[in-house]
Amino acid sequence: MRFGRKRGMSAYIERRSPSTFKIQITSMVDMFVILLVFLLKSYSTSPVNVTPSDDLTLPASSSLKDPAENLKLVVSKAGIFVEDEKVLDLKDGRLDVAEVDASDTQFIRKLYEALDQQAKKSRDIASQNSELEFDGKVIMQADRSLPYEILRKVMYTSMLAGYSDVKIAVMLKE
């Protein structure tokens, strides 16, 4: 009798003791792969952040070049800005006649003064630091509904101020 009882108890212990279970991690690995792909797709290696203002609609393009760190020039319907400082006002995307030079109808005096001041700053920094040099490059953000006449005047004035390389910022077509 004793023998049967012991055997019964050991059978009970043997049935209970293999308490090993297996974790299914396949779904967790799938989740991490999806997360990794999402992060890699949304990661931007561009050191320059060009953020258009709310009232500015940039033209669309299929260009894939990343912008470089240059002077930022914004031409919106409300005004012209150099490095986030308002230089002059535009009324519904139109330039006031008083803002244009009488002797040269393509020249905008206030814009020239602001750009010339920025060029002097850049040249002073370049004279102190041999690694930097003034290259005369501008990233221009322009509203796509503005007339070409204003953009031409802005580019002409920037060229006279020493900024002859003008890149126009665009939104990527999707």
Digit-by-digit pLDDT tens for the chain (174 residues) are: 555 555 555 555 555 555 677 777 788 888 899 999 988 887 766 556 666 666 777 777 776 676 677 889 999 888 999 998 999 988 887 888 888 888 888 999 999 999 999 999 988 988 888 888 888 889 888 888 888 899 999 999 999 999 999 888 877 776
Same domain, 38 and 93: no
Q: Report which DSSP code applies to 59.
A: P
Same domain, 107 and 155: yes
Same domain, 108 and 37: no
**φ/ψ (deg, to 5) at 118:** -65, -40
Task: Give dist(CA 80, CA 110) in Å, integer.
Answer: 10
CA dihedral 66, 61, 165, 117 (to 10 degrees): -80
Same domain, 80 and 115: yes
Same domain, 104 and 146: yes
Residue 26 lies in domain: 2-42
In a domain, 54, yes or no: no
Q: What is the pLDDT of residue 9?
A: 55
Containing H/E element for 26? Answer: helix 26-42
Same domain, 19 and 84: no
In a domain, 31, yes or no: yes
Identify residue 67 by its one-letter amino acid code.
P
